[in-house]
């Protein structure tokens, strides 16, 4: 039996469409053993409609602690998905260091001040290869910052189906090497299956590259609706097995633990 976890779930505290207890009920039915809430935090553009109001952070943490005490299974983990900006590392560090969290997802949603996932017009008339390279450079900076336990949707710029004109293997190789050297985990984000291009993040062709560098991995849904908790996980686990993975990471109090999964 696979020890199923889902550490990427959004609630009404940010852009999710349901309260935490609704996700907990579905996760229990899905056989999820650990459920991690990770609502959006953006310290640069804090008033974005899809991000948590920073004045609610203490209430958020308190609610999660209470769920953890009251819920038998799944075990509740308290996390955040924090937007990375390379000129705000100290601000992000100071913010996170004051919080009692089990893990932090690092993500890149902005490139040169523009959102990469809100509107396909961002890509119109631009050199996608350049965007892809610049995005990966910024993700590598996020990895190297030491701020994050997991990197979320590491190739989010694929969201609208744009393709690199040549083989991007060297970019994934560099990212995997950077993640290995800084001991940061990768998520297999299944929410890409709900997008236009109907694929996971990262591009599954390169899972073996992350395995070669022994990058720890977890499978996450990036659910914004309870029905998407644990969605497409069976396919993700099979892909990981085919890539040579035989264990996955779990988190508690910013410490990572490795658990074998069996098929």
Please give the mean pLDDT across all residues of the chain.
97
DSSP H or E segment with residue 143: helix 128-144
Per domain, the residue ranges of the chain are 4-260
Structure tokens at 164: 């690199």
Strands 32-41 and 4-9: parallel
Closest to 202 (Cα-Cα) out of 169, 155, 235, 166: 155
Distance CA 194, CA 198 (A): 6
* Backbone torsions φ then ψ of 219, nearest 5 degrees: -110, 125
Residue 20 has pLDDT above 90, yes or no: yes
Instruction: Check: pTM over 0.85? Answer yes or no.
Output: yes
User: Do 168 and 174 touch, CB atoms closer than 8 A?
Assistant: no
User: Where does residue 219 fall: left (phi above 0), alpha (psi -120 to 50 degrees), or beta otherwise?
Assistant: beta
- pLDDT range class, residue 263, cuts 50, 70, 90: very low
Domain 4-260 CATH superfamily: Metal-dependent hydrolases (3.20.20.140)
Mean pLDDT of 142-168: 96
């Amino acid at each position: 039996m696979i020890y199923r976890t889902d550490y990427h779930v959004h609630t009404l505290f940010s852009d999710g469409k349901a309260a935490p207890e609704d996700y907990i009920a579905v996760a229990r039915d899905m056989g999820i053993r650990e459920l991690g809430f990770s609502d959006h935090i953006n310290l640069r553009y804090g008033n974005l409609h899809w991000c948590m109001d920073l004045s609610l952070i203490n209430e958020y943490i308190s609610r999660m602690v209470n769920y953890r005490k009251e819920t038998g299974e799944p075990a509740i983990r308290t996390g955040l998905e924090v937007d990375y900006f390379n000129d705000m590392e100290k601000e992000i560090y100071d913010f996170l260091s004051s919080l009692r969290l089990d893990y932090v997802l690092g993500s890149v949603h902005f490139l040169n001040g523009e959102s990469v996932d809100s509107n396909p017009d961002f890509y119109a008339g631009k050199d996608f290869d350049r965007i892809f390279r610049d995005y990966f450079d910024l993700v590598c900076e996020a990895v190297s910052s030491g701020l994050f336990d997991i990197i979320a949707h590491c190739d989010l710029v694929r969201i609208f189906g744009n393709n690199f004109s040549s083989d991007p293997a060297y970019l994934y190789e560099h990212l995997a090497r950077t993640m290995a050297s800084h001991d940061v985990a990768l998520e297999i984000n299944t929410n890409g299956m709900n997008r236009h291009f109907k694929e996971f993040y990262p591009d599954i062709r390169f899972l073996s590259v992350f395995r070669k560098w022994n990058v720890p991995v977890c499978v996450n849904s990036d659910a914004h609706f309870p029905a998407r908790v644990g969605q497409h996980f069976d396919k993700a686990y099979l892909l990981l097995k085919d890539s040579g993975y035989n264990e996955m990471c779990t988190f508690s109090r910013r410490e990572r633990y490795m658990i074998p999964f069996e098929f």
